[in-house]
A and B are shown apart, each in its own frame.
Chain A
């Protein structure tokens, strides 16, 4: 009887397990179909209003690509919280997609892993040549002097959004210097009504590190010296962090609650609802603003201003070169098809189609900014990308820099939000700790 029972169990086990894996195994990795058709796996990042929206936008384009080339693309849209982890797991195991999107600030870090295909001259020629890309955007493809392992796909930069009505009601013009910005913000702040001069995503370490970089550059700082050594604690970097944290602390023009904002859409939400008069955000905030009921004629955009006169060594940097790059996994069995796909995605036509729903700036020359009906806004963003944006440090340790410095700044913001003044010494101590952590971890 025992044998019968065991046999039955085994039988049931086999049947169920077979059934279970039958459904799931279809879309892992890439394969050459028996019919001679090629299938690519593509990991796209979340750019639209939802993962489903991304699929809806990309679906017809992938169908078009299949029609043109006969290459089928299996699309998987991956949310931001998962993306880097999944890329890391793919890198470690050698099992991943053929083509994938990466945040361009990770480019140098991912390049260092050696898991991505370098775009050498032949590869660049295959996708239409490096000259087709906007130079600042192309520069984010990897560490300087090395063969890039990614090419730009969607361009993003920071701008200063302002609420036109609130500004005109207060008789103000959009600020052209940082001092003006602070004065205006103070005028527009009225905590009793729940209205503040500036919206801030104060719990997001990525935004914090972006502003530490931008304002650090304005104050003559540089997070790494030419030899790649961390220099977070130089006076310029400290002053830059102070400029940002003071919005919350000394200037009190930011709602203290915003230190809890960490998902991305909360600060734009405050701005859209008239709870904040200004917002420093990347151009894809347009999507959120419109989702929250604001129309493009209700807000204006200018470059984030720098202190005037510029501090010694400072540069009028208004943004870093943000955006999404596209990489090919080195282990791909379909290199030619992958290159074709990258060429397709970075073609002028596709850029024009995709930039609109994803509120992105074109990364190829001659592209039109088309995500907004507001001509001034389009021009402003195009100009910031062309003249006022610098890439974040293109070094392998960039990823560690983002988390360590970003967290340090978040901690300082939290301190300011709870009413404790933040001194230069506090900032220096926090940045020193971040720097020591990176040194001790050897990254």
Chain B
């Protein structure tokens, strides 16, 4: 990183020292960054931004089944949908708060463990040993399976009567007499988190592993010459130089896990048990299952605001730490 941070001022200094010699060719050069980001901007506008604005607008109208075929006729609701969603004494507000809390715990667990497992695996596989290539591929397999296939296999394993887990716990190991339920009650939360972890840690592994490749061997060699052991190298060189990668990785894992729809949906369908009522599927239930898209949109916007705040805090905090480091 040190190379880059020295480089930036040099480059900028070089640029600013020759404004006087700006020729027409230079204005074309000035347009270059805009041309480069243009395709991305157009796509984002079409797929994300405009639909997002429409979604925000939806949250201010009473978009129920009576109006979905003719949106323009839907009455303006003002903050009505938000009031319902935030009324913590009402059943809907309570449900949303519960779902939000569950999702926070779920996200912390899944992201934390995904990163930990991914980091551990990447560290281990950084050293060459027999079977390394095989393991590297094996660990990525959960990620290569279609989500539906992976999750449905887990739900199959977690069945009470015919599932692998209860077979193992009750019949093979005799640890329990009475087979527990894994997909209802509070266990449903644990099961969902484990399944999500199974799916998401290989991604952390992949990203960290790729990030490690960009750390020059010379740095390790120099450290080894200085007498740093394998753990110190991991602690100071690998973790330190992976910081930019980790910064993005953790943030993205956080956002995806928080908005995770697929895992609970495949495990439980549109109506998960109370303990695993993650917020995205909760919103899905409120909009698609109860046919109240205005309310569902209001909930989504609240979720968006929360994630915006968390993300800004996170980015502010990490860049501050980066600058100090």
A290 at the interface (CB under 8 A from B): no
Chain A 381-421 residues near chain B, CB threshold 8 A? 396, 399-400, 403-404, 406-407, 410-411, 414, 417-418
Known: A113-B69, A115-B69, A399-B65. A88 touches B288 (CB 8 A): yes
Known: A88-B68, A109-B65, A436-B91. A400 touches B181 (CB 8 A): no
Q: Is A441's CB under 8 angstroms from B286's CB?
A: yes
Q: Is A260's CB under 8 angstroms from B290's CB?
A: no
Chain A 17-50 residues near chain B, CB threshold 8 A? none
CA distance A110 to B291 in the complex (A): 10
By secondary structure, the B interface counts as: loop
> How far does the Cβ of B268 sit from chain A's closest Cβ, in whole Å?
8
Known: A94-B69, A260-B183. A433 touches B91 (CB 8 A): yes
Across the interface, which residues of A come within 8 angstroms of B184, CB to CB? 203, 259-260, 414, 417-418
Interface string of A78-97 (1 = CB under 8 A from B): 00010011001001101000
Q: Is A440's CB under 8 angstroms from B291's CB?
A: no
Interface string of B177-204 (1 = CB under 8 A from A): 0010101110000000000000000000
Q: Is B68's CB under 8 angstroms from A92's CB?
A: yes
B285 at the interface (CB under 8 A from A): yes
- What class of interface size applies to chain B in its complex with A? 35 or more
Known: A112-B66, A255-B161, A259-B184. A410 touches B290 (CB 8 A): no
Q: Is A400's CB under 8 angstroms from B291's CB?
A: yes
Known: A407-B271, A436-B91. A114 touches B69 (CB 8 A): yes
Across the interface, which residues of A come within 8 angstroms of B286, CB to CB? 441
A437 at the interface (CB under 8 A from B): yes
B295 at the interface (CB under 8 A from A): yes
Q: Is B290's CB under 8 angstroms from A396's CB?
A: no
Q: Is A440's CB under 8 angstroms from B68's CB?
A: no
Q: Is B290's CB under 8 angstroms from A400's CB?
A: yes
Nearest B residue (CB) for A435: B91
A205 at the interface (CB under 8 A from B): yes
Chain B 24-79 residues near chain A, CB threshold 8 A? 62, 64-66, 68-71
Across the interface, which residues of B come within 8 angstroms of A262, CB to CB? 268-269
Which of the residues A115, A259, A418, A441 comes within 8 Å of B84, measured between beta carbons? Answer: A441
CA distance A162 to B289 in the complex (A): 34
Chain B 150-199 residues near chain A, CB threshold 8 A? 159-161, 179, 181, 183-185
Across the interface, which residues of A come within 8 angstroms of B62, CB to CB? 442
Interface string of A422-443 (1 = CB under 8 A from B): 0000000000010011101111
Chain A interface residue count, Cβ-Cβ cutoff 8 angstroms: 41
B273 at the interface (CB under 8 A from A): yes
By secondary structure, the A interface counts as: helix
Residue picked from A256, A399, A418, A441, most chain B C-beta under 10 Å: A441
Nearest A residue (CB) for B70: A114
Which of the residues B64, B159, B271 comes within 8 Å of A442, measured between beta carbons? Answer: B64
Q: Is A442's CB under 8 angstroms from B292's CB?
A: yes
A257 at the interface (CB under 8 A from B): yes
Q: Is B160's CB under 8 angstroms from A414's CB?
A: no
Could you list some 27 contacts between A and B, CB below 8 A? Answer: A85-B288, A88-B68, A91-B68, A92-B293, A112-B65, A114-B69, A257-B181, A262-B269, A399-B291, A400-B291, A403-B285, A407-B271, A411-B273, A414-B184, A414-B185, A418-B181, A418-B185, A437-B92, A438-B290, A440-B84, A441-B92, A441-B286, A441-B290, A441-B292, A442-B64, A443-B290, A443-B291
Closest 5 CB pairs of A and B: A115-B69, A257-B160, A436-B91, A257-B161, A414-B184
* Inter-chain pairs besides A403-B285, A440-B87, A442-B62, 18 sampled, C-beta below 8 Å: A88-B291, A115-B68, A203-B184, A256-B181, A260-B159, A260-B160, A260-B183, A260-B184, A396-B65, A403-B290, A404-B290, A407-B271, A418-B184, A436-B90, A436-B91, A437-B92, A443-B291, A443-B292
What residues of chain B have their CB less than 8 Å away from a CB belonging to chain A?
62, 64-66, 68-71, 84, 87, 90-92, 95, 159-161, 179, 181, 183-185, 268-271, 273-274, 285-286, 288-293, 295
What residues of chain A have their CB less than 8 Å away from a CB belonging to chain B?
81, 84-85, 88, 91-92, 94, 109-110, 112-115, 203, 205, 255-257, 259-260, 262, 396, 399-400, 403-404, 406-407, 410-411, 414, 417-418, 433, 436-438, 440-443
